[in-house]
A and B are shown apart, each in its own frame.
Chain A
């Protein structure tokens, strides 16, 4: 009899406990059998807290939207130095929002279960996807608008143009867009709703922020992929590397293309 007592006590200790009355609760229960309190609400937070989280996410969105639109649609800002300024401001904004939520978000900065094979695999896919997208978008631009948008040309007139282009098109977005969207935005939304909806929302917002309707066809899947990886691997770093590979490939393709046409 004593052995059975010990076993059942040990089992009771391992069970999670109700946040209200501290009695053990069985898995699969939505309400505590002793006090009737909702287990999910205790774990998730009130509607008020969720609305505040949405407001914070909305502020992040507004800052990015205003900055990106100013950069794109106001002639005064169509200069090299201004684009650097805005890049830095937006990067700082991402960092600030991430740091404000440090305690809840810091865990994604750890690179859990690092696997060189996974990393190389993901990067290979990113490289391949970038080639395909570059080809399709170039074709679309030429056939629909008879222009060919280039990231590199923006930096081409400066010294160290290649390094600058690589830094501002590949390195900075990889780091700070991941920090801001997959780090802050996706993380914050997961406090509001379930994983699936959070990934959808953050991916769509990331995609439309690039202000290119044509590119939505690849931006949305790309963002969904990055969001899934961030939640599956519980780290930002695979996404950072993927994003870097993708953008880096795009820049290099352009430099080669320009080199050919000169």
Chain B
């Protein structure tokens, strides 16, 4: 290796991500842009990049939808708790109100957490919902069908949220964001 080449390397900036690149690199080490590629290859890369950015936006929208579903569940659980308490103040009502309140707070916190750690938030929210569903299904099998359309919708929303969060993590790495 010629010692002189290392001292006369020029530092330029990548046309795509504006990070520093060495002159003798064929591709940018930060984003993969073909520095030494043909006009066609560079255009293709930039088009792919826009496409990925759009996909990322879409994926993040799906994650947001899942987090809204969690806020909705939090609200519904809280309302149910209030109703239980209103209907049965002296008996079970107090305990059910407490249980529902804690659950509502949990779902709300997890919904908020989806904004900070999307994948972790959606997976934990889904697992909490799944556990409650299984619990209700086992202790009172007749309730499985009640609101079944709503439940299917929610679960679909969560699963799409998990897949989208996965996709978003990958795209963020590809685009060298965050």
Contacts and interface: CB of A to CB of B under 8 A. Distances in A.
A145 B94 CA distance: 10
A69 B135 contact: yes
B7 interface: no
B76 interface: no
B30 A209 contact: no
Contacts of B106: 216
Q: Which secondary structure dominates chain A's binding surface?
A: helix
B57 interface: no
Interface stretch (A27-35, A229-237, A253-261): A27-35
Contacts of A41: 170, 173-174
A5 B1 CA distance: 6
A209 B128 CA distance: 9
B170 A47 contact: yes
Interface residues of A, number: 47
A70 B162 CA distance: 27
Given A36-B27, A144-B98, A213-B103, A205 B169 contact: no
A73 B30 contact: no
A134 interface: no
A211 to B, nearest CB: 7
Interface of B: 1, 3, 22, 25-34, 95, 98-99, 102-103, 106, 117, 119-120, 123-124, 127-128, 130-131, 134-135, 138-139, 162-163, 166-167, 169-170, 173-174, 176
Interface of A: 1, 4-5, 8-9, 25-26, 28-38, 40-41, 47, 50-51, 54, 61-62, 65-66, 69-70, 73-74, 144-145, 192-193, 196-197, 200-201, 204-205, 208-209, 211, 213, 216
27 contacts: A8-B1, A25-B29, A26-B29, A29-B29, A31-B31, A31-B32, A34-B27, A36-B27, A36-B28, A38-B32, A38-B173, A41-B173, A61-B127, A66-B138, A69-B134, A73-B135, A74-B138, A193-B169, A197-B120, A200-B124, A201-B127, A204-B124, A205-B124, A205-B127, A208-B131, A209-B131, A216-B106
